[in-house]
Structures are given as structure tokens and as C-alpha cells.
Structure 1
Amino acid sequence: MKYLVMVQGAQSDYEGMTGKSSPHSPAWSEEDLRAMFAFMSAVNDDLAESGELVDSQGLTEPAQARTVTAGPDGRPVVTDGPYGETKEVLAGYWVVDCESLERVTEIAIRVSQCPEPAGTPVRPVVIRPIQDGDGGEV
């Protein structure tokens, strides 16, 4: 069964990782960043070794995002940048192929234990089963 494991974030988290603190996120040190990247690399290595890793990626900050919607007349409306109403965004993900929901939950629990500086907001790790082309779970 394939699952998408998603890590949530916000623009303030990305700014904190560049050393800019805010009321919503502390500034990260170089040591904090190294610890986070080492942790994520270890997770990826372990999932690759077990044969469960299909793909994993971190995503750029929301300020680099673009949203495309249909306008009232059906023509596309393209908007750049972060949005005030958007509190959390997808920060990164894993696609894993696991035997069970219990196993992917173990993976998500491990991901949720990534080292972060004190004061970093707690962001959810979300698990979603991936549907196959027939609408069933893969």
C-alpha cells in the first residue's frame, strides 16, 4: 500500500531557517539546520534500505509558490506569493510503500521527532493513502 506522508509548515518557518526570528518561529542556527538535515537524511536512508521509500522531497518556501484558479468567467487567475489566509502549507513529503497503516504511522511518528530549536511551532505530519487509477488504494 502506498502512502503520502506530509510535513506541514508556514512561511515563518522558512524565514526562521534563514536566521530570521518572528513571533511565530524562532531563528534556526547552523547547528539546528545540520541536525534537521542529518535527521531527515537518516530517515530517507532507512526507508531506502527497507525498500519502502518511493520518493521524498522538501519544498521551497510559500513565497515562491504560484496558485492558479478559474476565475468567474472560467479564465485562469494566477497569483504569486504567500497568502494571508494560508496558515500552513506542505513543506515536504515522502511517498512510501508500506505493509500497513500501522507501519506508516511509525514512520510519521519518527518524522514528527525531527530536532528543532525551542519555540518552534508544532506542525502536524499527515498520512494519506494513495489511490490507484481505479479509485481504490494502491
Structure 2
Amino acid sequence: MKYLIMVLGKQADYDAMSGSPAPGQPAWTEKDIQAMYGHMGAINDSLAESGELVDAQGLTEPSQGRLVTAAKDGTPVVSDGPYGEAKEVIAGYWVVDVENIERATEIAARAYACPQPEGAPNYPVVVRPIGEMQGDEM
């Protein structure tokens, strides 16, 4: 069964990784960033080796995204979105094809243990089964 494993973050986290810490948010050093990439790369490598990896991507900072809604007449309205007010957003994800949710949560626990600077927030890692559509439902 396929699962989506999502790592969460905030714009302030991306800023801290770029050297602009916010109050209560330490700046990341190059060593911190390399440790994070090394940890995530090791997860990717082991999932690829076991045949469980379907896809994995880190996402750009929320300020680069767009929010799409519609006006009353149905015309699309595109804006930078309420990222300042948003709690956490998806910072990256894995799609895995594993035997059961227990295996998916093992992978999520490994992602949660990612090294980071002392005092940096550590957000939950979300695991969601991916529903599979049957025949005519597509």
C-alpha cells in the first residue's frame, strides 16, 4: 500500500536555514544543513535500496508558492497566499509503497529524528494512506 509521509515547516524555518533567524529560531550553519541533507539522503537511499521509494521531494519555501481561489464569477484569483498566518506547511514528502502503516510510521519516525540546531522547532511528521481509485472512478 502507498503512503504519503509529509515533513512540515514554516517560512521562518526556511529563513533560518538561509541565515535569517527569527526570535526563538536559531540560524542554521552550513554544518547543520549538511547534517540534515545527509540524514534525509540516507533515508532516500535505504528506501530506494529496499524498493519502497516511489518519490521523494523537498519543497521550496512557502513564499515562492501561490494560492489559487476563484472570484464569485469563477475567474481564478492568484495570490501569494496567507503564508505569514499559516501554521505549518508541507516542507517535503516521501511517497512509499510499503507493507503496512507500521512500516510507514517507522520511516516517519526516522525522518522526525533529523538533526537540527539546538532550539529549532521539531514538527510532527504526518503519515497518510494514499487511496487507490478503482476502474470507472478515475
Taking structure 1 as the reference length, the TM-score comes to: 0.93
Cα separation, 1, equivalents of 2:83 and 2:93: 21
Q: Quick check: 68-77 or 111-120, which moved more?
A: 68-77
* 3-state SS of paired residue (1:102): helix
Number of the residue aligned with 1:103: 103
CA contact (8 A) 1:65 1:82 kept: no
Shift of 1:71: 1.8
Number of the residue aligned with 1:27: 27
Taking the TM superposition and a 5 Å limit, the aligned residue runs for 1:1-138 are 1-80=1-80, 83-134=83-134
Task: Supply the AA of the counterpart residue of 2:23.
Answer: P
CA contact (8 A) 1:5 1:95 kept: yes
User: Number of paired residues?
Assistant: 135
Task: Supply the AA of the counterpart residue of 2:14.
Answer: Y
| CA offsets 1:33-57 (integer angstroms, 9 cap, x no match) | 0100000100000000010000000
Q: CA RMSD in A?
A: 1.4
Runs ≥4 in structure 1, deviation > 4 angstroms? none
Question: Where in structure 1 are there 5+ consecutive unaligned residues?
Answer: none
CA contact (8 A) 1:68 1:76 kept: yes
| CA offsets 1:23-78 (integer angstroms, 9 cap, x no match) | 15210001000100000100000000010000000000011011111222221110
Q: Quick check: 120-129 or 81-90, which moved more?
A: 81-90
Question: Where in structure 2 are there 5+ consecutive unaligned residues?
Answer: none
